Amino acid sequence: MLLALNGLDISARILLGLIVTYLIATVSEVLLHRYIAHASSKARRYWARHPRLFGHLLKLHYRHTIVHHGLTFRMNHVTQFKDTNERELTDRIVALRADELIHREDYGLTIGLRGLISYNMTVAPILPILYWIAGPWALCGALPVLTLAPFSAMLLHPFLHEHHETARKPSAMVQLLMRTKYYRMLWTHHFVHHKYPNSNFNLLLGGDFLLGTYRRPNPSDLAEMEEVGMPLVFSKSKAEQNSSRIND
């Protein structure tokens, strides 16, 4: 195998690095999102018995599942707080945790630069392996992929929770992405995740399809999306014909 890889030209090595790293990144995003951010009660009880080792995982679960999924966007997918009273109540609840990242990351709507580390802890080990089997050009394809998942959470995720004619002006790069079919698919994908949290874990699309956690929106989901001003990728007739692969 190594001899065969040694025969690859530069462009093939770059492509190899990109594809392999993308696959690992999208699959690991599903696993981390599913088993840590949405951790089971059994896992959380174990973590609580070993706070020095796993206290940070409990915090991550609280910020994501309790705050982002539970205490915000309760009215609909594009309304973080119904009014100031709801926001003040949420602030009183999260104050008990004394976790400054909750406010700094806008109640789970975005992440800081720490995401470059946390999102890539399971991806970075592939880099020396790629270098060993395909040389430095493979790293040229791999390294940009390391930014995709954390920057999706940092820059794109906030707009996945907004009306498509949002009053906030996205950056030029995000505006370009919002015009693509990929972004509209991501919009739908993430809406379904919030309605059915046991599915559609990716912001970097792909892993859910590979691991069987993808759920296609049904006509009711599409109607809700239309109601809150979110663009549709699938027609209702197609969604009707292709029922979800995952039960509620």
Give the pLDDT mean for 9-21: 93
Percent of the chain with pLDDT over 70: 90
Q: pLDDT-derived band of residue 177, with 50, 70 and 90 as boundaries?
A: confident
pLDDT of residue 3 exceeding 50, the answer is no
Residues 220 and 125: their CA atoms lie apart, in Å, by 42
For residues 138-147, give the mean pLDDT: 94
pLDDT tens for residues 52-89?
Answer: 999 999 999 999 999 999 999 999 999 999 999 999 99
Catalogue the E-assigned strands of 39-110.
none
User: Would you state the pLDDT for residue 237?
Assistant: 52
pLDDT for residue 98 is more than 80: yes
Query: Is the pLDDT confidence value at 244 over 50?
Result: no
Per-residue pLDDT at 1 exceeds 60: no
pLDDT at 158: 92
Please indicate, yes or no, whether the overall pTM of this predicted structure exceeds 0.95.
Answer: no
Q: Which amino acid is at 14?
A: I
Other CB atoms within a 10 A radius of the CB of residue 128 amount to 10
Summarize the confidence of residues 22-49 as an average pLDDT: 97
Residue 218: which residues within 8 A CB-CB, separation 6 or more?
A: 239, 240, 243, 244
- The answer to whether the beta carbons of residues 126 and 16 sit under 8 Å apart is no
**Which pLDDT belongs to residue 191?**
96
